[in-house]
Amino acid sequence: MSSASLSPFQALPALPTESVNLPFLGSRVTPHATFQYLLQDVSAKGVTFAVPRWVVNREHFEIGARINFHLPFRVGSRTQLEGEVISAEWDAELDAQRCVARLSGQAPLAYPVFASIETRSIVFNDEAGQPADPVELVRQLFRDLALLKRGTRVYFKHLVPLFSRITFFPTADYGELRRFVLSDIRNRIATNIAALDDWKSRVEASDFSVAQLPQCVDLEALRAAVEAEINNELFAATFESPAIKPYLDAIRLLEHKAHLDYNTLVLLYAAAL
């Protein structure tokens, strides 16, 4: 949608990166683990972020740790999503571990929302570089999240019969595993799909405006619905078969895309406050 079809009140202004005081989702590259962090600064020298004690999912980092911010840090027309921790210390005032990471790894810009390295601001543009329609962007993100979670269900559906062929558990033990662990994962995926579909229907209402986003969506509930139901490392260690790796890798890729969607929604949520 072009900016000509928008009223000035629909366009969202750029946000200073330090003004977004809501937790984003990040993940370790190796070993994989999801965590929440606060973005404090973005510059050509790197990204400063904090992991406060009060977030639900915490990680402790050492120098050299590789992480994925799942945020579009724009350099020119591309983004840099991964970083390597070059400084990590405890900040008593923040009650958080405060880290600096050097950015690495480039990818195409997925959405017209990005953190500009040059201006240190969050920008909401469309593909033509004009002010984006935030309502359509919110709708697009929820459609994508619902599709990604359905993709996870498809891959998991293929994994379950594979587990029965490769497991070394006695038949009775595998029955217990399937009944309590695998069924629980399947049910959680279904619950999260239903939650995402509900939010999607809310934002697709004809009278929805981006100002209503904080009333329509609970970010903690959304985070819980977006995060992984499957512990890839636990599954890989439990079943010890290369046959499951392609499926787990595919699920991990969907998770990374979902984290980027979630973080983009956090930016839109912050802009609506």
pLDDT in tens, 172-225: 555 666 666 788 889 999 999 999 999 999 999 999 999 999 999 999 999 999
User: For 147-158, what is the mean pLDDT?
Assistant: 94
User: For 160-183, what is the mean pLDDT?
Assistant: 63
The string of DSSP codes covering the chain is: --GGGS-TTTSPPPEEGGG--SPEEEEESSS--EEEEEEEEEETTEEEEEEETTSSS-----TT-EEEEEEEEEETTEEEEEEEEEEEEEETTTTEEEEEEEEEEEEE--SSEEEETTTTEEEEB-TTSSBP-HHHHHHHHHHHHHHHHHHHHHHHHHHHHHHHHH--S-HHHHHHHIIIIIHHHHHHHHHHHHHHHHHHHHHTSTT--GGGHHHH--HHHHHHHHS-SS-HHHHHHHH--GGGHHHHHHHHHHHHHHHHHHHHHHHHHHHH-
Q: What is the mean pLDDT of the chain?
A: 84
pLDDT in the model for residue 62: 96
pLDDT in the model for residue 97: 97
Give the global pTM.
0.88
pLDDT in the model for residue 21: 92
- Residue 94 φ/ψ, nearest 5 degrees: -80, -15
pLDDT in the model for residue 150: 97
User: For 70-99, what is the mean pLDDT?
Assistant: 87
| Mean pLDDT lowest among 9-18, 46-55, 67-76, 188-197 | 9-18
Percent of the chain with pLDDT over 90: 49
pLDDT in the model for residue 6: 36
pLDDT in the model for residue 51: 97
